[in-house]
Amino acid sequence: MTEPTSHEIQVSDRIGRVSALLLAPAGAWAMLALAHGAGAGMRHPFMDDVARALAGRGIATLRYQFPYMEQGGRRPDPPAVLEATVRAAVERARESAPGLLLLAGGKSLGGRMTSNAMARRPLEGVAGLVFLGFPLHPAKQPAVTRAEHLERGAGPMLFLQGTRDDLADLSLITAVCRRLGPRATLHLVEGANHSFATLKRSGRTGSEVLEDLAAVVAAWSRGLPAGSSPS
């Protein structure tokens, strides 16, 4: 398989540059701008494995760092900085893959910041959002306030959620998707936690779960209408 290539993305003069990894398989038909979660960067094994599984389905990925992770910090940047980074990364992904279906999203925090950015101002060319474990609320603090902005976000959304995710109560995330109507597709991974790790008794390996996620993303993306990005 093709190996990822290193890139830099200029976010702004004030924020500076962040690193990115582009994995573009031969014959790719879609491109996903893929943001990492709060506690681990774009090189985390989960992010790498997801990118490779998607590449096997013809989906290219542009993984990128948020500035705090680029600088070796642990505390996420303010939302405005995170959203600006999302916007710059999506623009780079669009420029890197002209003519391909453009998707955006990420793991946990990365997905939520992508939808925040989309709700504030449409991300040019993006046909749909992909959430790998949408962080609906902090652990043991069930709430839906983090999802309120989704009502303002245009376009289709795919929620990939584990049934044991302690950052997304199953009944609450189901209700959120129901309220969003046909724009939202919810795919549940039985027995998976927020990191998509499953219990041994499930009989499923981590690689099998990742392949399932990639297959769902590919099937959902194939169903998006051409040119469905918001204007």
pLDDT in tens, 62-118: 999 999 999 999 999 999 999 999 999 999 999 999 999 999 999 999 999 999 999
CA-CA-CA-CA torsion sign (74, 132, 225, 186): negative
What local confidence, expressed as pLDDT, does residue 82 receive?
Answer: 98
Within-domain flag for 170: yes
Within-domain flag for 40: yes
Q: What is the pLDDT of residues 165-194, one digit of tens each?
A: 999 999 999 999 999 999 999 999 999 999
Within-domain flag for 230: no
CATH number for 165: 3.40.50.1820
**CA gap 101, 126 in Å, rounded:** 8
Within-domain flag for 100: yes
Within-domain flag for 227: no
Supply φ then ψ for residue 16, to 5 degrees: 95, -155
What local confidence, expressed as pLDDT, does residue 78 receive?
Answer: 97
Q: Is the pLDDT of residue 226 over 60?
A: no
**CA gap 109, 169 in Å, rounded:** 16
| pLDDT > 90 in the chain, percent | 90
Q: Quote the tokens at residue 4.
A: 């990822």
Integer-rounded Cα Rg, in Å, for the chain is 16
Burial degree of 13 (CB within 10 A; 0-12, 13-18, 19+) = exposed
Within-domain flag for 108: yes
Within-domain flag for 207: yes
Supply φ then ψ for residue 191, to 5 degrees: 80, 0
Q: What is the pLDDT of residues 186-222, one digit of tens each?
A: 999 999 999 999 988 777 888 999 999 999 999 999 9
Specify the residue for token string 């879609």.
Answer: 30
CA-CA-CA-CA torsion sign (13, 15, 16, 19): negative
Specify the residue for token string 């189901």.
Answer: 174
- Of 149, 164, 155, the C-alpha closest to 201 is 164
Q: Is the pLDDT of residue 228 over 70?
A: no
CB-based contact 162:135 (threshold 8 Å): no
The residue range of the domain holding 125 is 5-222
Within-domain flag for 231: no
Q: What is the DSSP letter of 168?
A: S
Cβ neighbours of residue 13 under 8 Å, at least 6 residues apart? Answer: none
Work out the mean pLDDT of the chain and round it to a whole number.
Answer: 94
What local confidence, expressed as pLDDT, does residue 50 receive?
Answer: 97
Domain count, the chain: 1
The model scores a pTM over 0.75: yes
